[in-house]
Amino acid sequence: MRTSIMAGVAAGTLLAAGAAAPAFAVEDGKADLSVLHGIPGLTVDVYVNGALTLDDFAPGDLAGPLSLDPGTYSVALTASDAADDSAPVLGPIDLPLAEGMSYTAVAHLMANGDPTATLFTNDISETASGEGRLTVRHTAAAPAVDVWADGAVAFSSLENPNEMMADLPAATYEAAVSLAGETDPVLGPADVPVEEGSNTIVYAWGSAADGNLALAVQSVATHTGMPAEVSAGTQGLAADGDAVPVGVIVLGAAALAAAGLATRAVLVRR
């Protein structure tokens, strides 16, 4: 019991300093990694540091997030019937993961159609109250594109393998992708929810030449603030009366009896 009281005192000290501790989106001392498969027509096995980690990983699949120790991981993709990672179809590549960060590793096509892998860092910084984050990533064998939200260009001339992002009022947006400077969608429109305290990430993947462009989406939690207090009463009607000084009781009773609730309501803020 004494321990818990001390913990409370410590927390109160934080409040006194005016700092409400944030809630971190990544576990203390760890890194988060998601893996997205964005190469059409190729089911693979994923080896991490030589060990089979994802079996029969299919195009459009999203794995994770995995909570990992910080460090550099070697990732190789093989045919799905391979016995080991000695003959990878992609990689091995090194993924350096730093503590407290969120990543998505994407196996995808370059603009010219060759397969590659890109390690994206997901922005998990805190969003403003009422806002969420939208990130768009071009991982398709296609030229530069414009990304539309609710009928207007939100991100223009996005090229493979780049990303753009914005914090928007939390809502569901009708998203579409056109070739840069054009208006006919090559992808979408699709409803994409953007929620407070999260980063919704939209990928264009596949190949324009092969006619298999597609959208993939994921969402990761951002850091958030936490309330420093809960002030949950306005009238004193549910108070413990027994230990209140006599004067307070008399005053309170007099106020209730003489003024009445309706009058008190006028006096009370909110």
Partner 1 sequence: MRPLAAVTVALMVAVTAACGATGSPGSAPVQASSAPEASASVIGPVAAPVVDGAVEVSKATVDNLGFAPQPDRLRVERLGVDMEIIDVGIAPDGGMELPESAGVAGWFRLGGNPAGGLREDQNTVIAAHVDDAVMGRGPFAELRDARAGDRIEVSAEDGTTVAYIVDRVEQTSKQEVDFSVVFGAPDRALVLVTCGGKWDADVRHYEDNVLVWAFPEDAR
Site for partner 1 in 149-208 (CB under 8 A): 190-193, 195-198, 200, 203
According to DSSP, the β-strands at 51-57 and 44-48 are antiparallel
Contact flag: residue 63 with partner 1 (CB under 8 A): yes
User: Count residues contacting partner 1 (CB under 8 A)?
Assistant: 84
Report in angstroms how near the CB of residue 252 gets to partner 1 at its nearest: 6
User: How, if at all, do strands 145-149 and 152-158 pair?
Assistant: antiparallel
Tokens representing residue 166 in the block: 């914005």
Task: Output DSSP code: residue 255.
Answer: I
Q: Find, among 61, 198, 42, the residue nearest to 113 by Cα.
A: 42
Site mask, partner 1, residues 128-147, x = CB under 8 A? -xx-----------------
Q: How far is the CB of 106 from partner 1 (least distance, A)?
A: 10
243 binds partner 1 (CB under 8 A): yes
83 binds partner 1 (CB under 8 A): no
- What is the closest distance, in whole angstroms, from the C-beta atom of residue 163 to partner 1 in the complex? 15
Which of 230, 197, 232, 227 has the alpha carbon at shortest distance from 19?
227
Cα-based angle 17, 18, 20 (whole degrees, multiple of 5): 110
In the complex, the smallest distance separating the C-beta of residue 226 from partner 1, rounded to whole angstroms, is: 4
Return the residues of window 215-234 that contact partner 1 according to CB under 8 A.
216-221, 224-234
Location of structure tokens 């080991």: 84
Nearer to partner 1, 201 or 208 (CB): 201
Residue with tokens 């230990």: 243
Alpha carbon 119 to chain centroid, angstroms: 16
Q: Please give the structure tokens belonging to residue 172.
A: 């569901």
CB of 181 to partner 1, least distance (A): 27
Give me 62's structure tokens.
């999203």
Stretch in the footprint of partner 1 (CB under 8 A) among 1-9, 86-94, 115-123, 138-146:
1-9
Closest CA to 217 of 187, 239, 251: 187
C-beta of 63: minimal distance to partner 1 in Å? 5
Q: Hey, what are 6's tokens?
A: 């001390």
6 binds partner 1 (CB under 8 A): yes
Which string of x and - marks every residue 21-50 that binds partner 1 (by CB under 8 A)?
x-x---x--x--x--x-----------xx-
Q: Determine if 117 is a binding residue for partner 1 (CB under 8 A).
A: no
Residues found in the chain: 270
Say how far apart CA 62 and CA 217 lie, in whole Å: 9
Q: Which of 98, 251, 254, 259 binds partner 1 (CB under 8 A)?
A: 251
Residue with Cβ nearer partner 1 (155 or 203) = 203
